[in-house]
Structure 1
Amino acid sequence: MFAENWQVSPRVHDVRSELDVKIIMSDGVRVAAQIFRPAGAGRFPALLGVHAYDAAMQYTPSRPQAVQGRNAQAEAGDPQFYVRRGYAHVILNARGTGQSEGEYAHYSPREVQDVVEVIAWMAEQDWCDGNVGMFGVSYFAVCAKQVAARNPPALKAVFAPYGYTDFYRDKFYHGGILAHSFLTNWSKHLAGVRVRSWSKEGLGDDEYNIRLAALRTNPDIMAVPELAAAVKAPDSGANPLILDVLLNPQDGPYWHERNPCLEDIRVPILIGSSWDMYFLHLPGEFRAWEKITAPKKLIVGPPVYLDRPVYQYAFESLRWFDHWLKGNDTGYMDEPDVRVFVVGGDGSWKTSTAWPLPETVWHPFYLHGGGLLSEHEHWPCEGGSSYEDNNYNARTGVSFATPPLVERTEVIGPLTATIYLSTNQPEVLLFATLWDIDPDGVRRLLTRGWLKGSMRKTNPELSRPWLWHYDFTDPQPVDTTRPQRFDINLVPTANVFQKGHRIGLRISSADQDPAGSLFDIVGQGHLLQQQPSWVTVHHDAEHPSVLNVPVTGGNRIGTYMSGGSGAGRIVGASAPAAGNSISWDGW
């Protein structure tokens, strides 16, 4: 890759590999690394990636395919690409996985310390020039952010898109609702894992046993076969990890000690994701963008996760590492800091200096009777729209949509919804789904939001108009005697609603909407209530339920309930009378 004024490192080296190299940690545990480096003599910058999966999957030559269950963990990038361009590439199994010794504790502080020590070890090798970077997506990117917050002296740059930054909010408890399907499916892919239970030590035996007994009588937990099996055999296989998640249903120490302190990162870092990752990586990357003050770039791509093995972003990352590790000015830092792909129409990239985009204006769309979503104020005594969440009958919901848009309307950024509702149970689960609806009524899912009713309390000091913050520490029963207010975040999106399309919102208490893609499915599978409930969404002057939409272009004067095409002639209206006298009553 080259331009008029720069070029990346040329492809000139042969590749030498050293497999299953054992590196001794300060506590005596040996971790296994796969090392790839230029075959010739010399000292080179080195890249590091850390994972908990099958080691061979990360480097075996393979023609990339669409991401799917059996290949999703091939996230390291291609060592052949980097080594041939003058980098060493080290791929490390976290302790307690693969050929690494010790016990795995789910991105624990000890595992982060291991990586800090490995970076120091790499910098001292006779094939390394002392400059180290970290690369990879998903597991690799999450770990890289943890390590970057420690600022090891030899770590000079990180390229870590697709990496959540809050283990509670982003990964396992969306809006306080357990994402059990992701938990149980993900844990199956950990390679030869030997798990160390955090909860037995962190909670103490008495509290551990009290919470475990409560799980065994929890009908929602025990209704999920995989969770029930883990609760019945808490020490088997990866079950201690599953139990750590189940036994810590509120934000607290287990989660805090795994979350990277983003404000501490001083290493130059590139972050980002794709719009289909609303259920995992995307929220954390925007959080990282807000809190990291080091040199940084943000890229959010089309709603298609990267192929596996990962090879996209190879040249993008090479430009980044050439700049920071080799002192080769590739022009990267002269380019805009924020790049987002806008879905809809032909699709296009948009650049900016900030996020949210400076031109964003949030338009309020109120929920109305008859399924209308409109900027119009509520009419008197509009009432509400009801649905049932009934495991014995039907799990339904209520949908709202704008009139057809009269112009191309660009929506980019985070959304919020304030929903007033009543329920006959002391708990309610809320799933908010945003849709692009075409003139034929075909819906395309854009993003989602979640909220557990008992965890609805917001923190006003940390909230902003476009993003509510919840502490998730003090669950309170939902008052069943009167309507209650619930403030919901919907994960950011970027979409062009074409003329004639409608903005759609669905509110339900179950994530069982038809899925159009693999990641729509992966984003489902939350814990549902077994106790039937009846829910009413109120939309009237006293309960102004509303969706706030981040408009960056279009919808200048608002939507038209009439459809925007003007009034037509009434069927059967008479033709103009003599003298060209025309009555308006015929229209």
Structure 2
Amino acid sequence: MSFEYRYRDRRNTVEERGGRPVQPRIEHHPGIIVHRDVAVPTRSGKIVWADLFLPADGAIAPAIASWTPYGKSNPAPIGKRFPRSGVRDDQLSDLVSFEAPDPAYWVPQGYAVIAADMTGMWNSTGPAHFMAPEEAEDYYDLIEWIGTQPWCSGKVGLSGVSYLTVSQWRVAELNPPHLACINPWEGWTDTYREVARHGGIPETSFWPYIWDRWGVAQPGSLLEDLEAEDAEHPWFDEYWASKAAQLEKITVPAFVTASWTDHGLHTRGTLEGFRRISSAQKWLFVHGRKKWAEYYLPENLERQKAFFDRFLKDVPNEVDEWPPVRVEVRNDHYDGAVRESTDWPLPDVEYLPLYLGPTGALSEEVPLESGTVEYDGNAAGLTAQRAVFEHIFTADTDVVGHARALLHVEAPEAEDMDLFLAVFKKRADGTVVGFPYYALFDNGAAALGWLRVSHREKDEQKSLPYLPVLKHERALPLEKGRPTEVEVEILPSGTHFAAGESLVLVIQGVDVFRYPEGLLQKAHTHYVNEGPQIIHYGPATPSRLVIPRMPVSTRLPEEGLR
């Protein structure tokens, strides 16, 4: 590696976060024997502390494991663990830790459940590395330890949400011999592009919050200093490459779940994870709802169980007949229909350009005359401080997949500019649909996109016709005296538009959504904007939004989401 890790002290002791020192002990629960604080050694000399939840009858069982920075014995009440998320207090047992499988469900189904504190965190010894190769090696050693225990059948599966999925991607690329399958449930794969720098714009709310939350350890433990490293590595380099999953190396069966609602955190990475892994047996489910509630929803637990039964117990079942891809196409808030397909992106999608034009039009035809729309690059919230364009559908249309905007932009008083794009659905009566968003909110857009214009250089080897991938290796200033052409990735979404309903594109210089401080959210506050921003359109500067439209003739029959 050409970079050097930076380290910091813990932010909180285990006791300050409500935990306790290591106390090996056995607990008895109905049908479950719990072995608390079992020491698992790693090749690096660290100790992973794990809790084992085993069938009380002593049956040998396959194992479902999770690897967490949040505390395997997280003592927070369930209502505080999953605020505003749709997870009810009575839905989970007291045995479950944050974003992890609930042993009270899985052990009676004939599984052993293992919850482990990642190395360096809580009581596990360190140093702690995050999204890193060293961490993946430690997780590998845990999996191999589990697979060789006398109570284990020799097969291990992985499950869990968010970071518990991020760690799945990283360890699965190492292909531990006892790893039989994975169930990634919404987790990023490229830390720079998907979490820390949206379109090159630094994220200044969730990213600083999360590295502080990952700060619980025993005195003397060292944690990777993500704050210092983030400041030292503003561009994508070997440091950030070490925090991006090598997805093509993954070969185990995978049941991948993504959502349209985690733009700026998990949506892009989860879908890229499914697309790029080399697993011969893989399935994708994409919903438009809140990730924690969907993970613990009884219907989805049954799908997870079918998957684990198939690959951990070798039980022939319906999984082999599952369609490779199921996606929810949202009509309104918590109202959608599932579509089945053979692949992601959906192979029957066609990419339709909608051209920006006068009077805020989005049209399938390039406007005959050139024009501009101007707004204050540092202002937000009012129509006069953003550019707004609208396309009214004349026939029922599903928009499912990757969109992108090709824009001709100008900032006469600046050398750089930040662009924030949002796609909304407007009903025929003129009201805007608010969709679930970022696990907590209910007023989200259909899709979001971002770009710091100086980061616009594309990686032609990694980019696809529908998916621009930026290099993030050097700054390219705005062109002087003329518009600069840029391509903005708009994250995948799935939305149904009935005839008479509208797609609305908003372009502005600051975040489209800004929530009160103290709420878990994505935000950007370090802008480069100065003065007005100008969007050009017309024959010489054909700014356009390219949407993934599903032809009506190939739409599948309606079916309920559940």
Aligned residues: 502
Counterpart in the other structure of 1:552: 550
Contact 2:380 2:511 in 1 (8 A): no
Counterpart in the other structure of 1:35: 52
Counterpart in the other structure of 2:289: 303
Counterpart in the other structure of 2:534: 536
Q: CA deviation at 1:73?
A: 7.8
Q: CA deviation at 1:355?
A: 1.4
Q: CA deviation at 1:64?
A: 7.2
Contact 2:195 2:203 in 1 (8 A): yes
The within-5 A match list for 1:427-506 is: 427-444=416-433, 445-506=445-506
Contact 2:161 2:292 in 1 (8 A): no
Alignment equivalent of 2:165, drawn from 141, 156, 161: 141
Q: CA deviation at 1:178?
A: 1.1
Alignment equivalent of 1:340, drawn from 327, 333, 352: 327
More displaced 10-residue stretch of structure 1: 452-461 or 428-437: 452-461
Q: CA deviation at 1:28?
A: 2.4
Change (3 A) 1:195 1:260: farther
Q: CA deviation at 1:553?
A: 3.5
Unaligned runs of 5+ in 1: 1-11, 198-236, 557-587
Q: Which has the larger radius of gyration?
A: 1
Counterpart in the other structure of 2:127: 103
Alignment equivalent of 2:43, drawn from 2, 11, 26: 26
Contact 1:383 1:540 in 2 (8 A): yes
What is the CA RMSD across the aligned residues, in angstroms? 3.1
| TM-score when normalising by structure 2 | 0.83
Q: CA deviation at 1:193?
A: 4.3
Letter aligned with residue 527 of structure 1:
T
- Partner deviation per Cα, 1:201-255 (whole Å, 9 max, x = no partner): xxxxxxxxxxxxxxxxxxxxxxxxxxxxxxxxxxxx9792222223212111111
Distance, in Å, in 2 between the alignment partners of 1:518 and 1:434 is 24
Q: CA deviation at 1:150?
A: 0.3
Counterpart in the other structure of 1:366: 355
The within-5 A match list for 1:41-60 is: 41-57=58-74
Distance, in Å, in 1 between the alignment partners of 2:282 and 2:260 is 20
Alignment equivalent of 1:414, drawn from 394, 402, 427: 402
Letter aligned with residue 55 of structure 1:
K
- Partner deviation per Cα, 1:297-354 (whole Å, 9 max, x = no partner): 1010123222299455322111111101111012102110000011006411100001
Distance, in Å, in 1 between the alignment partners of 2:183 and 2:522 is 29
Distance, in Å, in 2 between the alignment partners of 1:29 and 1:443 is 53
Q: CA deviation at 1:532?
A: 2.5
Change (3 A) 1:286 1:367: same
SS at the partner of 1:474? Answer: coil
Contact 1:76 1:310 in 2 (8 A): no
- Partner deviation per Cα, 1:177-218 (whole Å, 9 max, x = no partner): 111111122223225147999xxxxxxxxxxxxxxxxxxxxx
Letter aligned with residue 32 of structure 2:
V
Alignment equivalent of 1:278, drawn from 246, 249, 263: 263
Change (3 A) 1:172 1:58: farther
Q: CA deviation at 1:124?
A: 1.7
Distance, in Å, in 2 between the alignment partners of 1:70 and 1:256 is 38
Q: CA deviation at 1:21?
A: 1.6
Letter aligned with residue 190 of structure 1:
W
Change (3 A) 1:47 1:58: farther
Alignment equivalent of 1:315, drawn from 293, 302, 308: 302
- As a proportion of its length, which structure holds more strand? 2
Alignment equivalent of 2:374, drawn from 386, 393, 403: 386
Percent identity of equivalent pairs: 27
Letter aligned with residue 49 of structure 2:
A
Contact 1:427 1:477 in 2 (8 A): yes
Change (3 A) 1:194 1:532: farther
Change (3 A) 1:53 1:178: same
Contact 1:161 1:273 in 2 (8 A): yes
Letter aligned with residue 476 of structure 1:
L
More displaced 10-residue stretch of structure 1: 450-459 or 17-26: 17-26
SS at the partner of 1:160? Answer: strand
Distance, in Å, in 2 between the alignment partners of 1:527 and 1:300 is 30
SS at the partner of 2:261? Answer: helix
Alignment equivalent of 1:87, drawn from 111, 118, 123: 111
More displaced 10-residue stretch of structure 1: 526-535 or 181-190: 526-535
Distance, in Å, in 2 between the alignment partners of 1:178 and 1:390 is 16
Q: CA deviation at 1:406?
A: 2.5
Letter aligned with residue 429 of structure 2:
D
SS at the partner of 2:74? Answer: helix
Distance, in Å, in 1 between the alignment partners of 2:339 and 2:224 is 44
- Partner deviation per Cα, 1:532-569 (whole Å, 9 max, x = no partner): 2211100011000000111113499xxxxxxxxxxxxx
Contact 1:432 1:506 in 2 (8 A): yes
